[in-house]
Amino acid sequence: MTSHLLARIQIPAPGFSEPTLYVRHQHGVIAAAGLTLSKGGCATFDTAFGAFASGRWSRLTNISDIGVSMDVSGHCLVELIAYANSTETVISSSDETTTLQFTDIRALAAESFYVAVTALEDGVVVRSGTWTTSQAPERDVRLGVSITTFNRQEYVLKTIERLVELESSEPSVNGHLHVLVVDNARNLDPQLPAGAPVHVVPNPNLGGAGGFARGLIAFREEGWSTHVVFMDDDISIEPESIVRTISLFSYAKDPDLCIHGAMMSEELPWMQFEAGSAYEFRSVYPLRALGRGVDLRSRYEAVHDHLEPEIDYSAWWFTAFPMHVAPQNPLPVFVRGDDVAFGLMHTGRHTVTLNGIAVWHADFALKNNPMSLYYEVRNFALIDTLVFDNHKWHHLAWRFLGFGFRNAYSHRYLSAEYMIHGMKDFLAGPAEWMKIDHSAKHEEVRHVTEEKAVPLTPELLSLGFTAPRPKIIRLGGFLLSPLTGAGRWIPKFLRSNDVGVAQIDVRAVGLAIRHDKILYRHPRFDEGFICERDYKRFMAIQRDVFRYSLRIARTYKRLKREYRDSYITMVSDASWNARFKG
């Protein structure tokens, strides 16, 4: 009987900090050869990367039978276990063969399946396993991987090496993978084996949007790829993500299905940072991460069948889609919001996640700075204008006022000034947007000297964090802030001479009323920055925020019409090719 690979079961590398993401074991030792079990020892794969999510596979595909084969040496008992409604049932087992079959996963209605291996003698070695089906795939998948990089050699070279090794060693991937690396720094020189399906393209620094537009146009012109993965350069990829992406695309009932790889924290490798996002254009903070803070070491999270949430967009650290779903290129927005626009316009509503498709990424809190807010204000204004018919001027003005004042009222003046700069560029209209030299613009805004996380001195580290006030008091402080000039007008005896301390990713409006200085620091790293009260700067910001809010009210209706009329030109191959030529 012919079998087709669905997913692989792996033993983590020795020394990996969170082995329970892959396997749970008793009386075992993980080494280079695999997991060695003593007699009576047991290994179970009821884990984030080991369990087979039969509920999700049943909804998204037509497969009915599955098989599991374990690469094991030594005498052992292998069990195939079904989990459903907190009940676990051994549905197949053997101490003579390491291959088990089950013919109808829908009849059982299991949430997930997993394998248990029990050693019946000393020295049993568990090396790996595979989940398979006898059903032929629905379609032949040829996956183009587009990676955009800018001076991230340490990460991207490892990613290239892993993809090359996977393509050459895994039969289900061999001949089904092409990798295109768009090098925005024009200095990448990977050492590739002969015949490796990797091509590096030098490119001007046009941000992620420019890099992925270059990759997408190239894949269209080549005509080989049926599906594409957009992948960041500063990630650590689990190569199994590619295996499962190809297999799910191969069997998907919906030909428009798109796949998002969850982001795991590089600092806390067990923590899921995000698994897709929702977007609320009416909100001051429109991004709504899904699945944030989930502990993927949790057995319940690994075996429980979570219904697919509605995803509005998926971030470009790993987003995969059929070529026909995205007939247009990304917007020329640079750095922030490019993936949001692409998801809202093309891929988001078709997107699902799947256990075992994931990357590890550095904490975003250290990336959020005034430069990112410049792009966020400018680019999200464009996205809302293009995507949402019922987005009005007051939605944009409310977000600009709300977030602008939260920065100004928490002594984060440079953030507020960069936000004003971003809004000014949006209000200039599409004709001026098309003239932007994105490399030069990025060079202009990236040199941030304030509100930039740096290593903290022992004296600042000793301050700890200011104890949080009850929510009602924080709300009162927020409401009082504009009435007191952000604390300028309160009596001196009510002020504190101490430095207030807040987390780096918040706007400490309440603290700013009483404290002239606020230390914004990362909760897990010894890094941060100090912001200090500056009344003249505060007043200038307040004037500009009001001034540009009034301008939004006067011009938004015209701008919306002009931006929408210009959209096809903005994302066209001709427009992007002109940018690629500099």
Mean pLDDT of 469-484: 67
**Least confident segment among 190-199, 293-302, 367-376, 531-540:** 367-376
Rounded distance between C-alpha atoms, residue 582 and residue 94, angstroms: 64
- pLDDT score at 438: 84
Q: What is the 3-state secondary structure (H, E, C) of 312-334?
A: CECCCCCEEEEHHHCCCCCCCCC
What pLDDT, on a 0 to 100 scale, did the predictor assign at position 412?
95
Residue 485, pLDDT score: 72
**pLDDT classification of 181: cutoffs 50, 70, 90:** very high
Closest CA to 233 of 361, 355, 340, 332: 361
Amino acid at 314: S
CATH of the domain spanning 143-364, picked from 3.30.470.10, 3.40.50.300, 3.20.20.70, 3.90.550.60? 3.90.550.60
Contact 359, 318 (CB under 8 A): yes
pLDDT for 98 equals: 86
Q: Which of 295, 237, 294, 545 is CA-nearest to residue 420?
A: 545
The pLDDT value given to residue 475: 63
Top-confidence residue, 548 or 476: 548
Kindly state the DSSP code that residue 523 receives in the 8-state scheme.
S
Position 367 pLDDT exceeds 70:
no
pLDDT at 525: 84
**What is the C-alpha to C-alpha distance for residues 573 and 329, in angstroms, rounded to an integer?**
7
**Of the listed ranges 154-163, 522-531, 549-558, the one predicted with least confidence:** 522-531
Indicate the helix (H) or strand (E) that contains 529: strand 527-532
Asked whether the beta carbons of 61 and 133 are under 8 A apart, the reply is no
Give the tens place of pLDDT for each residue, 21-46.
999 999 999 999 999 999 999 999 99
Q: What share of the chain has pLDDT > 90, as a percent?
A: 80
DSSP letters of 354-413?
Answer: -TT-EEEE--GGGT-SHHHHHHHHHHHHHHHHHH-TT--HHHHHHHHHHHHHHHHTTT-H
State the burial class of residue 86 (Cβ atoms within 10 Å of its Cβ: 0-12, 13-18, 19+).
Answer: exposed
> In this model, does residue 474 exceed pLDDT 80?
no
Name which of 182-191, 235-244, 490-499, 554-563 the model is least confident about.
490-499
Instruction: Assess whether the region 4-133 and the region 143-364 belong to the same CATH fold.
Output: no
Of 22-26, 56-60, 434-438, where does mean pLDDT reach its minimum? 434-438
Q: Tokens 């098989």: give the residue.
A: 67
How confident is the prediction for the chain on average, in pLDDT? Answer: 93
* Percent of the chain surpassing pLDDT 70: 97
Residue 473: the pLDDT is 63
Integer CA distances (angstroms), 248 to 172, 179, 245, 312, in order:
12, 19, 5, 20
Kindly tell me if the per-residue pLDDT of 243 is higher than 90.
yes
Domain 4-133 top-level CATH class: mainly beta
Instruction: Read off the pLDDT of residues 380-394 as tens digits, 9 standing for 90 and up.
Output: 999 999 999 999 999
Cα–Cα distance for residue pair 541/544, rounded to 1 Å = 5
pLDDT of 35: 98
472 pLDDT tier (thresholds 50, 70, 90): low
Q: What is residue 564's three-state secondary structure? A: helix
The owner of tokens 């404290």 is 515
172: tokens are: 């289900």
The per-residue pLDDT for 366 is 60
- Sorting pLDDT into bands at 50, 70 and 90, what band is 478? low
Query: How confident is the model over 120-149, as pLDDT tens digits?
Result: 999 999 999 999 999 999 999 999 999 999
Residue 520 token pair: 């914004």
Give the residue from 130, 351, 107 showing the smallest Cα distance to 252: 351
Question: Where do the structural domains in the chain lie, given as residue ranges?
Answer: 4-133, 143-364, 370-536
- Taking only the tens place, the pLDDT of each residue in 298-342 is 999 999 999 999 999 999 999 999 999 999 999 999 878 889 999
> What is residue 489's predicted lDDT score, i.e. its pLDDT?
72
Task: Show the 3-state SS of 417-481.
Answer: HHHHHHHHHHHCCHHHHHHCCHHHHHHHHCCCCCCCCEECCHHHHCCCCCCCCCHHHHHHHHHHC
Is the pLDDT at 13 greater than 80? The verdict is yes
Average the pLDDT over 104-119 and give the result: 94
**Token pair belonging to 161:** 């090496």
Angle at 479 between CA 473 and CA 483, to 5 degrees: 125
Q: CA nearest 570: which of 181, 209, 147, 202?
A: 209
pLDDT of residue 569: 95
Cβ pair 153, 190 in contact under 8 A = no
Q: Which residue has the higher pLDDT, 377 or 284?
A: 377
Quick one: the chain helix, strand, coil %, rounded to 5?
35, 25, 35
Spatial distance between the Cα atoms of 520 and 517, rounded to a whole number of angstroms: 10
